[in-house]
Amino acid sequence: MLRQVGIILGLVIGATGCSSMFDKHVEYGITKPDSYPVLQAVGYAPIAPQPGETAEQKSLMAMKASKIEAYRELAEQVYGQQLSGHTQLAQAIATDDQLEAKVQGVIRGAKVMRSYVVGDSYATELELDMKRVYDLYINETKPRKVKKVSYY
């Protein structure tokens, strides 16, 4: 029994020891996508119900809210929406029906193309060039792909 444990231990040590016998050099390369889409989003916010004492303050708050809504729409395009639903039945009749939508993500590199008033609402148009997002990502994370492995 002790001899068998010794043999197994010897094999394990020998197998792990062999892996460090060879040294290697790895070359990495970056893989670029074939195309880069440009995403567009529009956010709207009403002016009148915004908090503020003056029309200018309400307009500024609507401008900010419309920008946030546009960013939300971009996040939905990039990451999708998480939907959660619940329906309750009593005697085959729906008594309660709930649906919740949630979006979460980070949007970098979007540009405000236009901000303008439409009736009693404010609108903000954003554009997200995925080429710009890719360049930001490459500069930040430096992803690598194995290009070549040389053993010696």
Domain coordinates in residue numbering, the chain: 2-151
Please give the DSSP secondary-structure letter assigned to residue 50.
Answer: S
Q: Residue 143 pLDDT more than 70?
A: no
Separation CA 93–CA 146 (nearest Å): 59
Mean pLDDT of 21-45: 84
Separation CA 75–CA 83 (nearest Å): 14
Q: What is the mean pLDDT of the chain?
A: 86
Tokens of 104: 């979460």
Q: Token match 């979006």: residue?
A: 103
Q: Please, are residues 115 and 55 in contact by the beta-carbon 8 Å criterion?
A: no
Query: Comparing 5-9, 87-91, 130-134, which segment has the lowest mean pLDDT?
Result: 5-9
pTM beyond cutoff 0.85: no
CA atoms within 13 A of residue 118's CA, in its CB half-sphere: 12
- pLDDT confidence of 22, banded at 50, 70, 90? low
Which residue, 50, 44, 106, is CA-closest to 70? 44
Mean pLDDT of 37-51: 97
Q: How many percent of the chain have pLDDT more than 70? A: 83
